[in-house]
Chain A
Amino acid sequence: MEAVSVPPFERFYDEHRDAVFRHLVRLLGRQRAEDAFQETFLRALRGYPSLAHGRHLKAWVFTIATRVAADDARRRRPEGPIAKEPAYEERRPTYAELEHLAGELPDKERAAVVLRYGFDLSYDQIADALDSTEDAARQAASSGVRRLRRRLT
């Protein structure tokens, strides 16, 4: 596969900040989205040096944003039943685990599977993350799962 180098952070940020912000506004509402936005890109900065290549950066940053939003939701209900469940990261396979599991899928299928089943994103959010349509996202996720199933059985 052709090597895609990691772009300067400015370009990555410039390309994805508006979509990430919209995504967070949908998940959290306008006001809470602002704090989550900053946290998302600070986490992205922390993780940036360990990126091996520049592919799927939009899906990558959407997974971070989704996780930040989940953390935010959990913090806001400290006494509620959600807090008694295992932490978000423990309940769900991490992006890295799922990515490994789905490692040999075609790029788009892998991203769709990880976002759908790893992060519970809706298909319109996945479509947004992959610059695709909702139908195409649904199709990519289901054919990814079919392919995984064939491989595992």
Chain B
Amino acid sequence: MNAVPTALDQRFRDAAAAAGLLDVSYDVADTPVGPLFVAVTERGLCRISYDPETERQTEELARTFGARVLRSGRPVDPVKRELDEYFAGRRREFDLPVDLRGRSEFTRIVLDELARVPFGQVTTYGKLAARTGRPKAARAVGTIMNRNPIPIVLPCHRVVGSTGSLVGYGGGLDRKRLLLDLEDAPV
């Protein structure tokens, strides 16, 4: 009985984004590594998650960026397009601003360095730590990789153990291997 028509629901979600009233817009993208939760603010991409539980994601985003978190596809489209191109083998670098508000300064420095690891190459936790000027912080870097708010675009899958083993991945080792295979990385 009298539920909101789909077209009306869609119209509201578009209008909310177009009016600039959202702190965070999100949507779910279908990819070869499964459905991805993708969220953006007006400053840039703020979250990619393998966790399909959107309730948990929206709670966390609301705490960091503001409570006006709404599923709204249009603002997320540019991200989806670049992800599609990446998975189709037509893109090696992402051209997307990111929003890392709410992260510590060291985390931002590490993620900034991480973003420089090129497509198809790998580095180690220790080397990444060294590049941030804290060569002994390999373990801290590992933790930051594990909590990477924007996997794939910030390529924590390109960071492996000093022996060359994959070690771990927030989205599971299968996905890490799949991404490295996609990039023809030497592991």
Which A residues fall within an 8 A CB radius of B?
Answer: 6-11, 13, 17-18, 21-22, 25, 34, 37-38, 41-42, 45-46, 48-49, 51
Residues A7 and B11 in contact, CB atoms below 8 Å apart? no
20 extra A-B contacts, CB within 8 A, seeds A11-B58, A38-B8, A48-B68? A7-B59, A8-B58, A8-B67, A9-B22, A9-B70, A10-B69, A10-B70, A18-B2, A18-B3, A34-B8, A38-B12, A41-B16, A42-B15, A42-B19, A42-B21, A45-B19, A45-B68, A46-B21, A48-B67, A49-B68
Whether B11 contacts A13 by the Cβ 8 Å rule is: no
Interface centre among B8, B55, B62, B67 (most CB of A within 10 A): B67
- Residues from chain A with a CB closer than 8 A to the CB of B16 are 41-42, 45
Flag whether B102 is at the interface (Cβ < 8 A): no
On whether the beta carbons of A8 and B15 are closer than 8 Å, the reply is no
B176 close to chain A: CB less than 8 A: no
* Cβ distance A58 to chain B, nearest Cβ, rounded Å: 15
Residues of B within 8 A of A38 (CB): 8, 11-12, 15
Max count, chain A CB within 10 A of own CB: residue among B2, B3, B11: B2
**Residues on A with beta carbons closer than 8 Å to the beta carbon of B69:** 8-10
Closest-by-CB residue of A relative to B60 is A8
Interface flag for B52 (CB, 8 Å): no
Q: Is the CB of B12 within 8 A of A49?
A: no
Closest to B16 in A: A45
Which residues of B are at the interface with A, using a C-beta cutoff of 8 A? Answer: 1-5, 8-9, 11-12, 15-16, 19, 21-22, 54-55, 58-59, 61-62, 66-71
Q: How far is the CB of A49 from chain B (nearest CB, A)?
A: 7
Contact between chains at B22 and A45 (CB < 8 Å):
yes
Contact A21 B68 (CB under 8 A): no
* Sample (21) of A-B pairs whose CB atoms are under 8 Å apart: A7-B59, A8-B58, A8-B69, A9-B67, A9-B69, A9-B70, A10-B58, A10-B70, A13-B70, A17-B9, A21-B4, A22-B2, A41-B16, A42-B12, A42-B15, A42-B19, A45-B19, A45-B22, A48-B67, A49-B66, A49-B68
If A42-B15, A45-B21, A49-B66 touch, whether A11 touches B55 (CB-CB below 8 Å) is yes
Nearest chain B CB to A36 CB, angstrom units: 11
CA distance A46 to B22 in the complex (A): 9
Q: Which of these, A8, A21, A37, A41, contacts B61 with CB under 8 Å?
A: A8
Nearest-CB distance from A108 to chain B (Å)? 24
Question: Given the complex, which residues of B lie within 8 Å of A6, measured CB to CB?
Answer: 62, 67
Please tell me if the beta carbons of A7 and B19 are within 8 angstroms of each other in the complex. Answer: no
Q: Do A21 and B3 contact each other (CB < 8 Å), given the known contacts A10-B69, A10-B70, A42-B15?
A: yes
